[in-house]
Amino acid sequence: MYFCFVGDSKSIWWLAGWFPSSLDTQAGNFVGRHARAFAEYQRGLEDGLLLTVFHFPVYRLGKDPKPVNGVDVPGVDICCRAVPQIPWRGGLWRLLNYWIYRWVGQRTLHAALHRQGVPSALHVHAGDKVARLIPGLYDAFRKQQRGAVPLWYTEHWAIFNEVVFDGFGKRGWVFQRDFLRLWEKVTIAAPVSLSAQRSMHAYLGGAKPFVLFRNVVDTKVFHLPEKKESDATEDVAELPFAFLHVSSLEPRKNVLGMLRAFAALKQKHPDWRMQFRIVGGNNELYLSQARTAALGLGLLHIFQPSVAFFGPRDASDVAFQMQHADVFVLFSEMENAPCVIAEAHCCGLPVIATNVAGIPEMIEENNGLLVAPGDEAALMLAMEEAYLQHARWHRSEIAQIAVEKYQPQAVAAVLDKSYRNLIDTCVA
């Protein structure tokens, strides 16, 4: 049985494990897009829900800049409290950092309770670190005779598997305990994919009611290219066939495997005019490794390089690249429900990606191809098929279907309805 208590303000609190701040403007940017979409949706309602986002970015004493400020989101009350962490390694220092985070987080939340009162609902986005705050927060709710505040939980982190190095089963018992305590309080799971829901159930135990809460795409930025397909000119036709990849270039993205598959395709069809464009790589080490691999594979020939590295780019530049590429490629070993696939589809761009986690829910024959993770031969054949049969994909249809799924209004409406079902009524 679920109980709900309606506060006069109908306020929603988000506890965001990841959220953009001055320390890292890209950290949790997908949560920021969710917040912006939800706030915009509420502005169109007479009884709009009030949203407060709490996040606690950590900084290393003596190494990272301070103060750390939150990134403003119009219509959202942002409560950002930077948490100092001791940079020294060792079990004792890790334990001390754990308690510092809990102390700062709990003081901040208790102060907000004193100012605002108990919220109508709570929503955790990315349980990393904020999961440890949930037991203390519900203790405070109970003292206010409001211990059954409904809790939504969205996990954006691909940790509920054993593929990635930091998978849930490989973490320490304290980390696992915090997530299990969070799961005990969850009223509604709000996964970004059905695969994420199944994984959370498998690792955390106990089925929970859920609502599918897709990632948001800024469709004002990510959309079909202005020039229609029928407007193609001879100059455009002379451009090389462009494969595109956008990511952090971290190891689980398997950028080196993509480059090897592309090199094999070039060797098989030396007369094909193709280019692989790679965008991203805030970490200079990952970017350097990818460049070195491309050089070793002969893809960076001084007179006619077939791989182009663009480095980190903002959203508008990424959208431009998607609008002017032919196929997007994502060869990750593990993902959740990648925002970048949704963004590519909103630009009408077909996607070749690995058959892992929530990706099969996003890709079918009319908008892309799936390959097994790590299978470079299969990736090469998929890239070959994309080159030869590219005309079968209709960019306008891909974009139309994707926009209906991922546009801010559609995603925010799902979340708003889910909140109100528990906030406004008592459901047995």
- pLDDT per residue as tens digits for the range 267-294: 999 999 999 999 988 788 888 888 888 8
Question: Which strand (E) or helix (H) includes residue 364?
Answer: none
Q: State the average pLDDT over residues 140-168.
A: 86
Q: State the average pLDDT over residues 156-183.
A: 88
Band of the pLDDT at 174, cuts 50, 70, 90? very high
Q: State the average pLDDT over residues 130-147.
A: 91
Band of the pLDDT at 67, cuts 50, 70, 90? low
CA 389, CA 354: separation in Å to the nearest integer?
19
Model confidence at 6: pLDDT above 80? no
Residue 162: HSE in the Cβ half-sphere, 13 Å Cα cutoff = 3
Q: How many CB atoms lie within 10 A of CB 115?
A: 7
- 307-312 CB contacts, 8 Å cutoff, 24+ apart: 307/259, 307/262, 307/275, 307/276, 307/277, 307/278, 308/275, 308/276, 308/277, 308/278, 309/278, 309/281, 310/277, 310/278, 310/279, 311/279, 311/280, 311/281, 311/287, 312/279, 312/280, 312/281, 312/282
229-406 shares the fold of 11-216+407-423: yes
Q: State the average pLDDT over residues 86-108.
A: 90
Predicted local confidence at residue 234, as pLDDT: 45
- How is the beta sheet containing 151-154 ordered, strand by strand? 77-80, 50-55, 11-16, 121-125, 151-154, 188-189
Helix H segments across 117-254?
A: 134-143, 173-185, 194-204, 234-237
Predicted local confidence at residue 4, as pLDDT: 41
Predicted local confidence at residue 2, as pLDDT: 36
CA 47, CA 120: separation in Å to the nearest integer?
14
The pTM is what? 0.87
Predicted local confidence at residue 257, as pLDDT: 95
Model confidence at 418: pLDDT above 60? yes
Predicted local confidence at residue 9, as pLDDT: 56
The per-residue pLDDT of the chain, averaged, comes to 88
The residue among 166 and 2 whose pLDDT is bigger is 166
Predicted local confidence at residue 184, as pLDDT: 94
Model confidence at 249: pLDDT above 70? yes
Q: Does domain 11-216+407-423 have CATH number 3.40.50.2000?
A: yes
Predicted local confidence at residue 298, as pLDDT: 86
Model confidence at 425: pLDDT above 90? no
Domains of the chain by residue range = 11-216+407-423, 229-406
Predicted local confidence at residue 156, as pLDDT: 85
Model confidence at 229: pLDDT above 60? no
Can you tell me whether residue 140 is helix, strand or coil?
helix
| Contact criterion met (CB below 8 Å) for 341 and 328 | yes
Q: State the average pLDDT over residues 345-365.
A: 94
Q: State the average pLDDT over residues 72-80.
A: 91
Instruction: Please spell the DSSP secondary structure of 15-82, one letter per residue.
Output: EESS--BSS-TTTTHHHHHHHHHHHHHHHTSTTPPEEEEEE--EEETTTS-SS--BPP-TT-EEEE--
Band of the pLDDT at 227, cuts 50, 70, 90? low
CA 355, CA 373: separation in Å to the nearest integer?
7
Band of the pLDDT at 107, cuts 50, 70, 90? very high
Predicted local confidence at residue 426, as pLDDT: 41
Q: What is the pLDDT of residues 196-225, one digit of tens each?
A: 899 999 999 888 999 999 999 999 999 998
Q: State the average pLDDT over residues 31-42.
A: 94
Predicted local confidence at residue 53, as pLDDT: 96
The residue among 164 and 421 whose pLDDT is bigger is 421
User: In CATH, what is the architecture of 229-406?
Assistant: 3-Layer(aba) Sandwich (3.40)
Q: Classify the phi-psi angles of 402: left when phi > 0, otherwise alpha if psi is within -120 to 50, otherwise beta.
A: alpha
Residue 282 φ/ψ, nearest 5 degrees: -65, -30
| Contact criterion met (CB below 8 Å) for 81 and 69 | no
Q: What percent of the chain has pLDDT over 70?
A: 93
Q: State the average pLDDT over residues 408-414.
A: 94
Model confidence at 134: pLDDT above 90? yes
Closest CA to 309 of 231, 247, 260: 247
Can you tell me whether residue 220 is helix, strand or coil?
coil
